[in-house]
Amino acid sequence: LLKGLIIMLYGYIRVSTGTQAIHGYSLEEQKQALMNAGVEEKRIFMDAKTGTNFNRDGWINLAKAVREGDSIVCYSMDRLGRNFNEIVLNMNVLEQNGVNIRTIRENVDTSTAAGRMVAQIFSAVAEMEHALILERTAAGREAARKSGKVCNRPKTYTMRKARKALEYREQGWTIDDIAVRLKTSHACVYRMMADAKKERENA
């Protein structure tokens, strides 16, 4: 334990779809589970989706409140983010700041050796997933080049829209959410993000 510091227990609850609320993920059910685990109601932060907008103020304020040695309790691991990459990103940031994560459903506690191992596995899987995506993309382009197919297609979007797609993705939005927001296809979202990344690298 860190000497001279009071270790606090915080909670985070999140609902992003109506389906989650129906299947045991309602904010009230999550809040009760966290309070049963010892988290005071005043230290529980919340985010919820309203219409097409997702308010992340709860997570942002929680990140500002926690200090080294504190623990954040969630109902389950998937409450930490809206997709796998966001979950891993948030776990890594908290770990770097010395903040522990506890989940009720999976019984994970990163203050223990077993919990830290779970976090490391998550990070390793995320890195492998990213590497495989890059490898498949490169292989597909090479196969198309050898067969004489033209990989480039006329753009149906502006670079401003492409930058917006990348910005949403880096904020943790899913490809589905980005496609709906920008009124385009999943494939176009990936192309826009690739263009925006290339522009950033060449800047």
First vs last C-alpha separation in the chain: 45
CB 99 within 8 A of CB 49: no
Residue that is written with structure tokens 């049963």 in the block: 36
Q: Are 76 and 103 in contact (CB under 8 A)?
A: yes
CA distances from 97 to 67, 89, 188 (A): 7, 13, 36
Residue (of 22, 8, 15) closest to 65 by Cα position: 8
* Length reported for the chain: 203
What residues act catalytically?
Answer: 16
Distance CA 189, CA 201 (A): 18
* Interatomic CA distance for residues 78 and 84, integer angstroms: 8
Among 136, 13, 153, which residue's Cα sits nearest to residue 76?
13
